[in-house]
Every structure is written in structure tokens, then in C-alpha cells.
Structure 1
Amino acid sequence: MFHSLVLSLFLYFPEDKSEYIPAAISFVIFLIGAFITMRLIVKHSKKEAAKAKKLEEQILNNRTSDKNS
């Protein structure tokens, strides 16, 4: 009894299926936004990794040139 009461509070299936349209539109908008955000994060991460690698090579080159001098 209690289990079905709890589920009935959260589940709502409208008879008029056109009520799903706004939810679907907002879902698609947020999905596209999440995808774009993830792509931007990955792109920024790759740039930062390239900068870190370049800095690491520069530090290693400075150490080897200091040891040779």
C-alpha cells in the first residue's frame, strides 16, 4: 500500500501526449549544452596538457644545459 502511494507521487503519465513536447525540447537543449560544455572542457584540457609538456621540456633542457656547462 505505502509503496504504491510513494510511486504515485512521482509518476505522472498524461493522457495528452503533447505535454511531453516541452519536456523533450528542454531535454534536447540541455543535452546540447552539456555536449558543447564537455567539448570545450576537453579542448581546454588538451591545450593545458600541451603547455605543460612544453614547459616540462623547457625545464629539462635547462637542466641538461646547466649540467653540461
Structure 2
Amino acid sequence: MFHPLVLSLFLYFPEDKSEYIPAAISFMIFLIGAFFTMRLIIKVSKREADRAKELEDKILKKQTPNQDS
């Protein structure tokens, strides 16, 4: 399917391992950013679920007396 020469163009393993440092730093920055973004999404989702539950309870309380009459 792919020629081995084409695939080998994308592989680069530097002899000087200090070239990995900028990649590791940017990886850590994005990893930390992804972690905090996920925590924010979970927090907002829980808040919205609580609001929806409160609204549901409020609507059910209003409907209950009307059904008895």
C-alpha cells in the first residue's frame, strides 16, 4: 500500500536527545490544558444536571396538585 521509503520520511530519531525537550514541554502544556479543560467540562455538566433536576422537581410539584383536582 505505502512504499517503505515514504513511511521512513516521517520517522526522525535525533542523535542529540536534547531535541526532545521542547516537544516534552509542549506536550506537558497541552496535557495540563486538556486536564483542566476536562475538569471544567465535568463541573459545568454537573451544574447543568443539578439545574435540570431542580427544574424537573419544580414542574412535577406544580403538576401534582393539578392532577388531584
TM-score by length of 1: 0.91
Q: Which amino acid aligns with 2:17?
A: K
Unmatched tracts of structure 2, length 5 or more: none
Give a deviation string over 1:7-56, Cα, whole Å, max 9, x none.
21110000000000000000000000000000000000000000000000
- Where has structure 1 moved over 6 Å in runs of 4 or more? none
Count of residues in Structure 1 that have an aligned counterpart in Structure 2? 68
Gaps of 5+ in 1: none
In the other structure, the counterpart of 1:61 is 61
SS in 2 for 1:51: helix
**Residue of structure 1 in register with 2:17 after alignment:** 17
Instruction: Please report the RMSD computed on the Cα atoms of aligned residues, expressed in angstroms.
Output: 1.2
Paired-residue identity, %: 74
